[in-house]
């Protein structure tokens, strides 16, 4: 298959590019490099032997995007591109709606014009908003109690995709709802390396371990969880990337939605402990007040992906910590 990855130099896109190349697919990458580095292309080449064709394009530039599709002759698009800082989205809602929705609408327009009828969309567990239970399944209502514009853009894009599929029976879409991606490629050559100040737990742990940040603030230890800290479903980035390959191989008509998670919850303190054990270094941490919008406990029920895609996670939190540390050691060279 000839595949376009939007946002393909990013954390999830680059790891997915490697797994798709390994399967023999022709991968091209489009990215505006707002939150990633062009050197990732060289790392992909070092790992896979292939340097994907690259377009430095902002998807809000409809003319430039149209040119990519005009010459691409793609079989399928994986749409990773988007702003994704939860906190920043609260401060800059218009930027998030304009960028995430505008980019997607431009892309869907181009796909229609050039008859590219397969889409895999990078969504997020955030679309579930507030639920009465911690374990999330794909049939649950979405869009209610989402606490930030970033999450709402993911929800709105899911709804736009559903409407596009209704309007065009030839269009097939798979929506993948990620939980909490962590870890790095075992080569140590690529990993999570955001340009912006991270919000997420793991990139902050990484920066505390290298001394770039002084301390990890643990947002609340008074939740109704075994150790009082927040519980999430942390999925190794390589498992997540393989989930994308599996979903492409099992695409079918209509809109199909899958949770990509381990099905297990891990607390903040357990993540800290796992990193310290893997690195042999103590992390500087302090207990801080809860973060607005945080839920106590969230994890995937991944049985639908297992049944329909023949995919489930194989790597552990310890694997993710070891691969993260290996990546940090490579970055330090
Ligand atoms: C995880 C846990 C925090 C930072 C978000 C998005 C979601 C997805 C993943 C894009 C929570 C705690 C964190 C810190 C902490 N992103 N924490 N100190 O909030 O589960 O999900 O990122 O798709 O859409 O909503 O991830 O990594 O921010 O937090 O104690 O400095 O770590 O309270 O319990 P989250 P996170």
The tens digit of pLDDT for each residue in 215-262 reads 999 999 999 999 999 999 999 999 999 999 999 999 999 999 999 999
Structure tokens at 277: 């054990």
Using 50, 70 and 90 to split pLDDT, how confident is the model at 333?
A: confident
Residue 103: predicted pLDDT: 98
| Atom from ligand 1 closest to the CA of residue 267 | 34
Nearest CA to ligand 1 atom 32: 201
> What predicted TM-score, i.e. pTM, was given to this entire model?
0.97
Residue 253: predicted pLDDT: 94
Nearest CA to ligand 1 atom 23: 124
Q: Is the pLDDT of residue 194 over 90?
A: no
Q: Ligand 1 within 6 A of 218 CB?
A: yes
Q: Which residue has the tokens 């309007």?
A: 167
pLDDT tens-digit series, residues 81-104 = 999 999 899 999 999 999 999 999
Q: Which residue has the tokens 């062009």?
A: 38
Residue 6: predicted pLDDT: 98
User: Are 155 and 143 in contact, with CB atoms under 8 Å apart?
Assistant: yes
Q: Which of 220, 268, 283, 295 most suits a substitution to test ligand 1, by most atoms within 8 Å of the C-beta?
A: 268
Please, which residues have CB within 8 angstroms of residue 217's CB and are 6 or more apart in sequence?
285, 286, 287, 288
Q: Is the pLDDT of residue 302 over 80?
A: yes
Q: Is the pLDDT of residue 31 over 90?
A: yes
Segment 130-137 shows an average pLDDT of 97
Nearest CA to ligand 1 atom 13: 201
State the chain's mean pLDDT as an integer: 97
Using 50, 70 and 90 to split pLDDT, how confident is the model at 332?
A: confident
Residue 106: predicted pLDDT: 98
Q: Ligand 1 within 6 A of 268 CB?
A: yes
Q: Which residues are catalytic?
A: 150
Nearest CA to ligand 1 atom 17: 201
What is the whole-number distance in angstroms between the Cα of residue 171 and the centre of ligand 1? 33
| Atom from ligand 1 closest to the CA of residue 148 | 25
Residue 198: predicted pLDDT: 84
What is the whole-number distance in angstroms between the Cα of residue 54 and the centre of ligand 1? 31
What is the whole-number distance in angstroms between the Cα of residue 201 and the centre of ligand 1? 6
Q: Which residue has the tokens 């993540």?
A: 271
**Cα–Cα dist 207/203, whole Å:** 6
**Cα–Cα dist 223/134, whole Å:** 13
Segment 165-190 shows an average pLDDT of 97
What is the whole-number distance in angstroms between the Cα of residue 253 and the centre of ligand 1? 33
Q: Ligand 1 within 6 A of 84 CB?
A: yes
Q: Ligand 1 within 6 A of 124 CB?
A: yes
Q: Is the pLDDT of residue 137 over 80?
A: yes
What is the whole-number distance in angstroms between the Cα of residue 119 and the centre of ligand 1? 27
**Cα–Cα dist 150/98, whole Å:** 11
Q: Ligand 1 within 6 A of 185 CB?
A: no
What is the whole-number distance in angstroms between the Cα of residue 63 and the centre of ligand 1? 36
Q: Ligand 1 within 6 A of 269 CB?
A: no
Please, which residues have CB within 8 angstroms of residue 146's CB and are 6 or more apart in sequence?
126, 127, 129, 152, 155
Residue percentage of the chain with pLDDT more than 70? 99
Residue 268: predicted pLDDT: 98
Q: Ligand 1 within 6 A of 219 CB?
A: yes
Nearest CA to ligand 1 atom 7: 126
Q: Is the pLDDT of residue 195 over 80?
A: no
**Cα–Cα dist 224/268, whole Å:** 13
């Amino acid at each position: 298959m000839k595949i376009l990855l939007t946002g393909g130099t990013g954390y999830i896109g680059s790891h997915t590019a490697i797994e798709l190349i390994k399967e023999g697919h022709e991968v091209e990458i489009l990215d505006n490099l707002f939150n990633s580095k062009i050197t990732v292309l060289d790392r992909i080449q070092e790992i896979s032997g292939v340097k994907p064709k690259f377009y430095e394009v902002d998807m809000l530039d409809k003319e430039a995007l149209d040119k990519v599709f005009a010459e691409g002759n793609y079989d399928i698009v994986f749409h990773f591109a988007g702003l994704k800082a939860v906190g920043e989205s609260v401060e800059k809602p218009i930027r998030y709606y304009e960028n995430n929705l505008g980019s997607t609408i431009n892309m869907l327009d181009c796909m229609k014009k050039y008859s590219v009828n397969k889409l895999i969309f990078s969504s997020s567990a955030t679309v579930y908003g507030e639920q009465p239970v911690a374990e999330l399944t794909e049939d649950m209502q979405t869009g209610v109690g989402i606490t930030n514009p970033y999450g709402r853009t993911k929800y709105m894009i899911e709804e736009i995709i559903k409407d596009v599929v209704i309007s065009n029976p030839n269009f097939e879409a798979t929506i993948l709802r990620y939980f909490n991606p962590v870890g790095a490629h075992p080569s140590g050559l690529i990993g999570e390396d955001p340009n912006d100040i991270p919000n997420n737990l793991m990139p902050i742990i990484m920066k505390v371990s290298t001394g770039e940040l002084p301390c990890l603030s643990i947002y609340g230890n008074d939740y109704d969880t075994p150790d009082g800290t927040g519980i999430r479903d942390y999925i190794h980035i390589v498992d997540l990337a393989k989930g994308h390959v599996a979903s492409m191989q099992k695409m079918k008509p209509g809109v199909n939605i899958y949770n990509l998670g381990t099905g297990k919850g891990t607390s903040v303190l357990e993540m800290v402990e796992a990193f310290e054990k893997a690195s042999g270094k103590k992390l500087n941490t302090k207990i801080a007040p809860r973060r607005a919008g945080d839920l106590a406990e969230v994890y995937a029920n991944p049985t639908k992906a297992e049944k329909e895609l023949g995919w489930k996670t194989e790597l552990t939190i310890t694997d993710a910590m070891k691969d993260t540390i290996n990546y940090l050691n490579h970055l330090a060279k």
